[in-house]
Chain A
Amino acid sequence: DAGVIQSPRHEVTEMGQEVTLRCKPISGHNSLFWYRQTMMRGLELLIYFNNNVPIDDSGMPEDRFSAKMPNASFSTLKIQPSEPRDSAVYFCASSRLGNEQFFGPGTRLTVL
């Protein structure tokens, strides 16, 4: 299996621009998670889906963040408009039936 796939791996954008991060979970996994990692806050869960349905988005920092999972093999995390404080590494992870989670390589986002 190819593992969790994320794109892009690096993104540099200017404040105010829209950013879209993409994730393909491991085939057969029915839970998908978006995490953010910063030096100040460590690894924190933003939102997770079960069977393509958002279950808990309480970790999404504000309305500028949105996430979708239109099908079992694809999810997006969108930031609009982006701000410098959104700079972080964003990880996607997936699991089957809530068991062991596997992480993608992450997207390093820099907002200037």
Chain B
Amino acid sequence: GIQVEQSPPDLILQEGANSTLRCNFSDSVNNLQWFHQNPWGQLINLFYIPSGTKQNGRLSATTVATERYSLLYISSSQTTDSGVYFCAVHRGGTSYGKLTFGQGTILTVHP
């Protein structure tokens, strides 16, 4: 099956810093999603981005499908950004949106 690798596995920042999280995948994908799992365990949708660039406030994401990677940018980080960030991909075809998840990046933002 498709492999999804995220880096770095852990990231510690001071409030106000910027960061870039990376997601590499081993095969062509139809769709890609970024999630934030907050300290209460909720999985929150950040971006649905099979290709191109999207921005939402301090967060933005870019997917280069031909090179099989996606990047999540967090600017001016806040303590509420802490949690685990997951990348998940869907191969398309007849898999009806079945997602394969990476192992996540654990982000800790200190005040």
Contacts and interface: CB of A to CB of B under 8 A. Distances in A.
Q: Is the interface of B mostly helix, strand, loop or mixed?
A: strand
Nearest to B48: A100
Interface residues of A, number: 24
B101 A42 contact: yes
Contacts, number: 54
Q: Is the interface of A mostly helix, strand, loop or mixed?
A: strand
A45 B99 contact: yes
Interface string A66-79: 00000000000000
Interface stretch (B38-46, B55-63, B65-73): B38-46
Nearest to A56: B98
A106 B99 CA distance: 17
A31 B101 CA distance: 18
B28 interface: no
Interface string B24-38: 000000010101000
A93 B42 CA distance: 12
Contact of B90 (A89, A98, A106): A98
A104 B96 CA distance: 18
Nearest to A30: B96
Chain B interface size band reads 20 to 34
Interface string B62-101: 0000000000000000000000001010100001111111
A99 B103 contact: no
Nearest to B102: A42
Interface string A24-44: 000000010100000000111
25 contacts: A31-B96, A42-B103, A42-B104, A43-B101, A44-B101, A45-B98, A45-B99, A45-B100, A48-B96, A50-B96, A55-B96, A56-B95, A56-B98, A98-B31, A98-B90, A98-B95, A99-B48, A99-B97, A100-B45, A101-B33, A101-B97, A105-B41, A105-B42, A106-B42, A108-B41
Given A100-B48, A105-B41, A106-B43, 16 more contacts: A33-B97, A33-B98, A42-B101, A42-B103, A44-B101, A48-B96, A50-B96, A55-B96, A95-B97, A98-B95, A98-B96, A100-B33, A100-B45, A101-B99, A106-B41, A106-B42
